Structure 1
Amino acid sequence: MPLDLPKPIAAYFTADRADGEAIARCFTEDAVVKDEGRTYVGRAAIAAWKSEASTKYTYTSEPIALENAGDTTIVTSHLVGDFPGSPIDLRFIFTIAGDRIASLEIKA
C-alpha cells in the first residue's frame, strides 16, 4: 500500500525522477539540504546538487516508511541503482514550511 506522504514530500519524490530544477521547485528559497557530508543552501545550490547526483548515478527511490517526529517528517526510502552500496535504505528527514520543504537531511 502506498504511503500517504505530505504533499511537499510527495512532490519531492516525484520530482526526484526528473531533474535538478524540478527538485529545487519543491524547496523554499533559502532551504538547506544536507547529504553525504555536504550542505547546500538555496534553490540554485539544491538544483546543482540534484543535477550532479543524477549525472553520476542512475537509481530508483521508493518510500517505504513514514514517521512524524515533532516538526520533522522522516521518510525511509529504498534506493536501488548503480551507486556504491546499492541497494540501501536511506532516511530523508524533512522540515516543511507552508507548501514547500525548508530543510532536508539524508542519512544512511
Structure 2
Amino acid sequence: MTPPTLPPPLAEFIAAVNRGDGKTALAFFGADGVVDDWGTRYVGAAAIARWSAREFVGAQGRLTPTRVSRDGERIVVDAGWASSFYSGDSRFVFSVDGERIREMRIVGH
C-alpha cells in the first residue's frame, strides 16, 4: 500500500515529528499558531512548545498517515499515532497558510 501524499508543509512537519526534531517541527507554527488537542487549546509558540514537550515530540511520537483529504481549506490527515503518552488512531485537521501551520486540531477518528 502506497502511503498518501502529503502537501507541503505537512510532509516536512510530519517528517520532523517522526525523527524527534521538535525545534524544526514547532517552527512550522507561526507565533500565533494553535494546537487543539481533543478540545484543549494551546495558543502561541510557548504554549505549543510546552504541550509538545509533554505529549507530542517529547513523548517520542510517531505519526503514520493512512489517508489525506481536503475539506475546503482544511487538510485532514487520518493517521496512526504512537507515543509514550498516548497511542491510537487519530484525525489531524490542519489549516495552513503557505509554509506555516495556522492550526492543528487532533480529534477522534
TM-score, with length taken from structure 1: 0.84
Q: Secondary structure, in 3 states, of the residue corresponding to 1:16?
A: helix
User: Which residue of the partner structure matches residue 47 of structure 1?
Assistant: 49
Amino acid corresponding to residue 4 of structure 2 in structure 1 = L
> Runs of 5+ in structure 2 lacking a partner?
none
1:80 to partner: Cα distance? 3.0
- Aligned Cα RMSD in Å? 1.8
Q: Name which of structure 1's ranges 38-47 and 89-98 shifts more when overlaid on structure 2.
A: 38-47
User: Which residue of the partner structure matches residue 93 of structure 1?
Assistant: 93
1:5 to partner: Cα distance? 0.6
1:36 to partner: Cα distance? 3.5
Whole-angstrom distance in 2 between the partners of 1:28 and 1:93: 16
Give the aligned length. Answer: 105
Whole-angstrom distance in 2 between the partners of 1:60 and 1:98: 24
> Runs of 5+ in structure 1 lacking a partner?
none
User: Which residue of the partner structure matches residue 77 of structure 2?
Assistant: 75
List, as ranges, runs of 4+ consecutive aligned residues in structure 1 with deviation greater than 6 Å.
none
TM-score, with length taken from structure 2: 0.83
**Kindly, what percent of the aligned residue pairs are identical?**
33
User: Which residue of the partner structure matches residue 16 of structure 1?
Assistant: 17
Whole-angstrom distance in 2 between the partners of 1:65 and 1:83: 23
